[in-house]
Amino acid sequence: MVKTNNQHIILPGFIKAVEVEASDQLSTNNKSPRRKFDLLQPLRKRLDKIEIKNRDFAHFIAKMIPAQCPFERDLMLFGHKIAHIPPLCKLNPLYDEFVSLRFRALCYLVDECGEDIQSYC
């Protein structure tokens, strides 16, 4: 719930009230938002611009980028779970771009080449 002009506004669950309140504070203070400098932005743009136009390249991408995080493990001892190693893929700053590239490669294989991609899933 956000309070504006002494009135309460109920926002849907997918809108974060913190962002709304922060943007209201910025507009009332007439301060421009501080821009963050991202060193990986050129590499992100380059990965997003890669077009899949070759069947062999699409197969290479689909094989090299795993479908799920390979590091997530449950450590078992005598049939009992003693520890859980969480997925560490989200620590990779380019994780979303690699997943998107893999998805585009799989879509190319299905749409353009008419191949079955169940072996990659």
pLDDT tens column, 66-118: 888 877 888 889 989 998 888 878 788 898 999 999 999 999 999 998 988 88
pLDDT band of residue 17 (cuts 50, 70, 90) is very low
pLDDT, average across residues 21-41: 65
Q: How many whole angstroms separate alpha carbon 16 and alpha carbon 20?
A: 7
pLDDT band of residue 34 (cuts 50, 70, 90) is confident
Tokens standing for residue 55: 């069947």
The H or E element that residue 8 is part of is strand 7-9
DSSP bridge partners of 75: 83
| Higher pLDDT among residues 70 and 30, named by residue | 70
**Against a cut of 0.75, is the pTM above it?**
no
Query: How do beta strands 7-9 and 2-4 pair?
Result: antiparallel
Distances (CA, A) of 109 to 59, 78, 104: 8, 43, 9
